[in-house]
Amino acid sequence: MAEQSSNVIKFLFGMGVTVTINQTLAADTAEYLVKEFGHNPIREEKAEEIINKIKASRAENLKNRPPIVTVMGHVDHGKTSVLDVLRSANVVSGEFGGITQHIGAYQIDSQSNKLTFIDTPGHAAFTEMRSRGSKLTDIVVLVVAADDGVKPQTVESIKHARAANVPIVVAINKCDLPEADPQKVKNQLLEHELIAEDLSGDTLMVEISAKTKLNLDKLVEAIILQAEILDLKTDFQSKATGIVLESKIDVGRGPVATIIVTAGTLKKGDFFVSGLRWGKVRAIINDKGQNVDEALPSTPVEILGINGAAKAGDDFIVLDNEKEAKILSQNRAQENKESKNPLTFATQDSAFSDKSAEELNLIIKSDVHGSSEAIKNAISQIKHAEVKPKIILSDIGMVTETDVTLAKASNAVLIAFNVKPSKEAKKLAEMEKIKISSYNIIYEVLDYIKSKMSGLLTPDIQENVTGTAQILEIFKVSGAGKVAGSKVTEGEISSNSELRIIRDGNIIFTGKVGTLFREKNQVKQVSNGQECGITIKDYVDFQKNDTLEAFNVTSKERSI
C-alpha cells in the first residue's frame, strides 16, 4: 500500500487489534484495513488453487516420455553393478564420451529411446519419496542373483513396488557364474506372484550378467517394452513441473537441487516455486556435467538459482514471472504454517500422485497362514459405499522395520495378529509415530478396522440457529475496537456463538463472536429484546442494519 508500517499498526491498535510488524492479519481484517486506507484490495487465490490450474491446463501436446526406473533387490545381488554398467556402456558409446556426473539420476539412450535411472538403488529412497507423497518411479527393475535366489530384501522390494502400483521387470543377475540357476529363481518368484513369460505369466524376466555384460541390451529392451505398455504420455510444450530428487548446498555454487522434470520443458531463466522455496533457473546441468539450455520430461538435471535447500520429494513448478513465484512461495509458507499439514500430498502432479483417500490401507502381520486367510476373508465382507478397506500387505511373521516404513509411506493401519514387532521395528514405530495394533481375536481386529474406517467418514453436521440481532449503530470502544451496537430480535446470543452477518439477504461473513457487552460490562449472554454491543472475531466491516445470526454447530460422528 506504500503506507508506513507504524501507521498501519497504529490504525489496527485503534481497532483494538494489537500486532507487531511481523504478524499476519486474517484476510478479512487485512481487506478492511486496505479499504480504510483508500486502496482497492483484490484477494489472491490460494497458492494451491493457482498451481492446480496450471497443471489442469495441460491436456494437449501429449507425447511419450522416457520411463523413470528404480533398481531394487537384495544386498550384493548386483544393483550398483547393473546401474554402473548401464551408465558406462552408454557413456562410452555416447557422443559426449568421458566423465559422468553423479547427480542422483542419469539417462541413457538406446536407439531412439531414452531411459531414466534413479541412481540410489534399493527401496529406502523409493519409500522415503513415497512417504512424502511423490511417486517418481514408473518401473522397478528387481535384481536377483542367480546363484543366491530370492532373499528377504527381494521380497521386501516386491512388496514396496506392489504397494506403489509400480510394475516390476526382473533382472536375474550373475548368470556368468557356474552355480547360477536362473530357473530356480523363476520358480521362487512364482511364490510371490511374479510369473515369467515362459511360465505363461506376464512379468518380463531377463537373464543377465553385469560382469560380462551378458544380455544388458535385452534388459533395456524389456524396460522399453514395459514402458510402452504403461503408455507414459505427458505435455512437452508447457511450462515445466518436476519433483526434487536431491538437494545440497554447494560451497561454490550455492543451493543445488537435482530435479526430474515430470511434464513440460524446463528452460534457463524460468521462475519457479519448489516446496516453500522459489527461484530463477540460473543454470541447468545435465547428468554428463554439461550446461544445457533446457530439459524435457523425465530428464534429471541439476538446477542452480533456488533460494535455499529444497527437500527431496518437493514439487517444482515453473510460473510466469518472478512476482508470481515469490508470492506463491510466500503463500505456501503461510498456508503451511496455518495448516501444519505437509505440503506434499496436495501438490503432486496428478500423473504422479497416489490414489484417493477413501480407502483404508491395511498391513496385517499374523502368526500363521490360517489366521491370515481368515482375517483377509472377514475384511472382504466389510462393505461400505464411502470407504473400503484395502489390504496392501498381509503376511506371516513378526512386524519388521520394513512393515513400519511401508505403513508410513502408504498411510496404512498396521496390525499385528498374534505376533510381536521386532525390537528395531518397535523403535522405528515410536520414532515415526506409527501405531502397531496388537490383537489375538479376529473380531476385535474387525472392530478396530471398522472404527478406523468410521474415522474416514465425514461426520453429520447439524446447524441450529439460536438467535438473531439487528445492528442499530456502529461505535468504537477503546480496547475492544469496532463494536456493533445491536438489539437481539429473536432467541439469544452468547459470547461463544458462531455468527453470520447477513446483508440484503446475502451472507457477508461467517465467524465467531469476539466480545459481548451490556452497557459497558462483558457478559456471557444476551436475550431477546435486549440491546448489546458485539465485536466479531477477525471482522470489522459490519454495517448498520446488518442482521447477525447466531448459531451452533453439532457434529455427530458416523460409524460403520
Q: Which residues bind ligand GDP (CB under 6 A)?
A: 73, 75-81, 121, 173-174, 176-177, 209-211
Nearest-approach distance from CB 87 to ligand GDP, in angstroms? 12
Nearest-approach distance from CB 393 to ligand GDP, in angstroms? 23
**CA–CA separation, 501 and 469 (whole Å):** 10
Nearest-approach distance from CB 118 to ligand GDP, in angstroms? 13
The secondary structure element, H or E, covering residue 405 is helix 401-410
**CA–CA separation, 299 and 107 (whole Å):** 7
Nearest-approach distance from CB 76 to ligand GDP, in angstroms? 4
CA distances from 160 to 9, 128, 346, 407 (A): 54, 11, 22, 10
Please identify, using beta-carbon distances, which residue of 80 and 530 lies nearer to ligand GDP: 80
Please identify, using beta-carbon distances, which residue of 67 and 73 lies nearer to ligand GDP: 73
Q: Which string of DSSP letters, residue by residue, matches 167-230?
A: -EEEEEE-TTSTT--HHHHHHHHHTTT--BGGGT--B-EEE-BTTTTBTHHHHHHHHHHHHHHH
**CA–CA separation, 399 and 421 (whole Å):** 4
Please identify, using beta-carbon distances, which residue of 72 and 266 lies nearer to ligand GDP: 72
Please identify, using beta-carbon distances, which residue of 184 and 211 lies nearer to ligand GDP: 211
**CA–CA separation, 76 and 81 (whole Å):** 9
Please identify, using beta-carbon distances, which residue of 177 and 309 lies nearer to ligand GDP: 177
Nearest-approach distance from CB 68 to ligand GDP, in angstroms? 19
Among 175, 181, 146, residue whose Cα is nearest residue 74: 146
Task: Classify 532 in phi/psi space as left (phi over 0), alpha (psi -120 to 50) or beta.
Answer: beta
CA distances from 443 to 371, 379, 439, 493, 529 (A): 12, 10, 9, 48, 57
Question: Which residues, in sequence order, are CB contacts of 201 under 8 Å at separation 6+?
Answer: 194, 195
CA quadruple 114, 289, 275, 70: dihedral sign: positive
Please identify, using beta-carbon distances, which residue of 192 and 211 lies nearer to ligand GDP: 211
Cα 36 to its chain centre, rounded Å, is: 40
The secondary structure element, H or E, covering residue 111 is none
Please identify, using beta-carbon distances, which residue of 123 and 452 lies nearer to ligand GDP: 123
What cell does 45 get?
487465490
Q: Which residues of 108-145 are buried (b: 16+ CB within 10 A; e: fewer)?
A: bebeebbbbbbbbbbbebbbbbbbbbbbbbbbbbbbbb
Please identify, using beta-carbon distances, which residue of 80 and 394 lies nearer to ligand GDP: 80
Nearest-approach distance from CB 75 to ligand GDP, in angstroms? 5
Nearest-approach distance from CB 176 to ligand GDP, in angstroms? 5
Nearest-approach distance from CB 328 to ligand GDP, in angstroms? 40
Nearest-approach distance from CB 77 to ligand GDP, in angstroms? 5
The secondary structure element, H or E, covering residue 416 is strand 413-417
Please identify, using beta-carbon distances, which residue of 153 and 238 lies nearer to ligand GDP: 153
